[in-house]
Amino acid sequence: MVDLKTLEPSSVWGHFDEIRRTPRTSKNEEAMRQYVKKVAERNNLSYKEDSIGNIVVTVPATSGKENSPIVVLQSHLDMVCEKDPGVEHDFDKDPIQVTQKGEYLYAVGTTLGADNGIGVAIELAVMDKKDWQHGPIECLFTIDEETGLTGAKELDASIVTGKILINLDTEEHRMIYVGCAGGGDTIMTLDTKKSELPQGFTAMEVTISGLKGGHSGCDIHVGKGNAVKILARILWSLRQEHSLYLNKFIGGDKHNAIPRNAVAIVAIADDKRSVFVDACNTKLNNIKDEFGHIEPDLAITITDTECSEVLVEGDSDKVLMLLVTLPHGVLAMNPDIGDLVNTSNNLAKVHCEGNKCLVQTSTRSSLKEALENTREQIAASGQFVGAVVEQEEAYPGWKPDLSSPILQKVKEQYRETFGEEPEVKAIHAGLECGVIGEKIPGMDMVSIGPQIENPHSPSERVHIQSVAEFWKVFCQILEKI
């Protein structure tokens, strides 16, 4: 364990130390809301809340800065809660255990929650800070970003006064983000029937593990493996030559995390057991060649197990066919910005057990037409096998405005502080800026932050020194607006 309060800036890390101890699963942010209010009250700062649970804390301007424009700082209170297999951790009550390795801070076996806990800690440090000059500030804390941008979507715009917004949910240090993708989820539910395990068949558990996982927006272009797709691909391939029945298929957990693990219980003819095992291993080795250094720890485990029931043959085929045909990964790149993904899909979650099979996908695109077209294709795949398809209204993207006044201010300060021209980018992930900008027309926005890597997975880490560097330039920006 590392003592976070010994890190610099101590004000930011001190708050992050409290944040890591506070439960903040999506839709369960009340303890974090209370902590925000506690910090506001001890600094004699007023705050407003809306009916959904968002909070705005007002930090008055210092003397002589009263006529400066109001700047809204924004971060979200919840975190993605993922853990490694075999790790016992209750995110609703257990503190995140942290460790330092070289220049980075990690969690032990779970997501760290630097996304967006560092942004929250920075806002709280702003509320505490006394030794500086600044204009009026509004600290906006939203809820339930990770499961559907609920706080931003339901934001009561009347609690926000400012028209300049700095979002603190970007994870690349010294980069300035001015645009993001929109997105929407699809949930497919397939009713299935079961029958007794056929005579002469044996049950086997097949597990895909060792994948890195990651954020389905930030990491989708890397080409990381999806455990659900890999397992479905292997089983469907073997189904072409052998009778195969599913008992269950489970993989993935969060709509915005690439599945790292997946497990299926299948029934195969007794006399085909060794052939099945050999074929699974051969197929997996061939697939590993496709990923190369990206997924060096990809592994398959096949063990004997027991089950008394299996899906009837037709329903087993429907489940596998759906998982094989649903898209995953990058679907289109931006033709004008070479490294920017335009459209992608994450086959995020599968839970087939009992008499129902639930499949969830998360689609992103910076283009509304491409987004809806992809979601229509996904819906068609679900409907083809008889699934009930539900699609919520997609959230909007954020169109870049390179003439933005706040962008010019941030670029100027980055140049002065770091001695080089900052890179201005758009991100394929969904930021709350697009939704907030639609809620509050005319909002001038940028998104910035320190270096956070591998969010939404237990490999998540934050570069410690980048937090100190970011805090310095961030305070300089607020002083000069």
d(CA 68, CA 479): 10
pLDDT of 436 > 80? The answer is yes
Q: Same structural domain for residues 91 and 200?
A: no
For residue 69, pLDDT over 80 is answered with yes
pLDDT at 58 over 80: yes
Beta bridge partners of 388: 189
Q: How far apart are the first and last CA of the chain?
A: 39
Number of domains in the chain: 2
Q: pLDDT tens across 409-422, in order?
A: 999 999 999 999 99
On whether both 170 and 266 belong to a single domain, the answer is no
- Helix, strand, or coil here: 472? helix
Is residue 452 within 8 A of residue 464, CB to CB? The reply is: no
Quick one: pLDDT band at residue 337, thresholds 50, 70, 90? confident
Active site residues: 78, 145
Residue 254 binned pLDDT confidence (cut-offs 50, 70, 90)? confident
- Mean pLDDT of all residues in 186-191: 98
State percent of the chain over pLDDT 90.
90
pLDDT of residue 91: 97
Distance CA(167)–CA(75), nearest Å, equals 6
Q: Of 391, 412, 427, which residue is a domain's last?
A: 391
Among the listed residues 13, 111, 138, the one whose alpha carbon sits nearest the alpha carbon of residue 470: 13
Q: Categorize the per-residue pLDDT at 392 as very low, low, confident or very high, splitting at 50, 70 and 90.
A: confident
The reported pLDDT for the residue numbered 1 is 76
Burial 317-342 (b: 16+ CB within 10 A, else e): bbbbbbbebbbbbbbebeeeeeebbb
**Encoding tokens for residue 406?**
């706040």
Same domain for 130 and 43: yes
Closest CA to 192 of 350, 361, 378: 350
pLDDT for position 65: 96
* 330, pLDDT greater than 90: yes
pLDDT tens digits, residue range 206-247? Answer: 999 999 999 898 899 999 999 999 999 999 999 999 999 999
Mean pLDDT to the nearest integer, 156-167: 98
Cα maximum dimension of the chain: 85
The total of other beta-carbon atoms located within 10 Å of residue 175's CB is 17
Where is the domain boundary, 391, 411, 429? 391
Per-residue pLDDT, averaged over 176-181, amounts to 93
Q: Averaged over 426-442, what is the pLDDT?
A: 91
In this structure, are residues 183 and 378 in contact, taking their beta carbons and an 8 Å threshold? no
- Mark whether 367 and 444 lie in a shared domain: no
Instruction: Calculate the average pLDDT of the chain.
Output: 95
Are 11 and 29 in a shared domain? yes
pLDDT at position 237, please? Answer: 96
pLDDT band at 50 (very low <50, low <70, confident <90, very high): very high
Here the CATH number for the domain that contains residue 469 is 3.40.630.10
Confidence of residue 260 (pLDDT cuts 50, 70, 90): very high
- Token pair, residue 371, equals 């987004």
Averaged pLDDT, 54-76: 97
pLDDT tens for 106-149 read 999 999 999 999 999 999 999 999 989 999 999 999 999 998 89
| Domain range for 15 | 4-181+397-480
Q: Which two tokens stand for residue 306?
A: 């027991």
pLDDT in tens, 289-327: 999 999 999 999 999 999 999 999 899 999 999 999 999
Q: What is the secondary structure of 398-427 as a DSSP string?
A: B---TT-HHHHHHHHHHHHHHSSPPEEEEE
Beta strands 423-427 and 175-180: pairing type? parallel
Token pair for 282: 């051969």
Question: 175 and 320 share a domain?
Answer: no
Q: Which two tokens stand for residue 431?
A: 């930021």
Residue 329, pLDDT above cutoff 80? yes
- Domain with residue 225: its CATH number is 3.30.70.360
What does the pLDDT average to over 340-364? 96
Same domain, yes or no: 281 and 221: yes
Report residue 336's pLDDT band, with 50, 70 and 90 as the boundaries. Answer: confident
Q: Decide which of 376, 391, 406 is a domain's last residue.
A: 391
Residue 334 has pLDDT above 80, yes or no: yes
- Same-domain check for residues 240 and 370: yes
pLDDT at 340: 86
Q: Assess whether pLDDT exceeds 80 at residue 6.
A: yes
79 and 192 in a single domain? The answer is no
How far apart CA 382 and CA 385 sit, in angstroms, is 6
Q: Look at residue 430 in the predicted model and tell me its pLDDT.
A: 83
Residues 263 and 386 in one domain: yes
CA–CA gap between residue 11 and residue 37 (Å, rounded): 17
The span from the CA of 193 to the CA of 159, in Å, is 51
- Rounded to whole angstroms, the Cα distance separating 194 from 307 reads 12
- What is the band of 95 on the pLDDT scale with cuts at 50, 70, 90? very high
Which of 133-137, 166-170, 217-221, 451-455 comes out lowest in average pLDDT? 217-221
- 267 and 350, same domain (yes or no): yes
Looking at the fold, whether 427 and 410 belong to one and the same domain comes out as: yes
Task: Report the pLDDT value the prediction gives residue 218, as an integer from 0 to 100.
Answer: 86
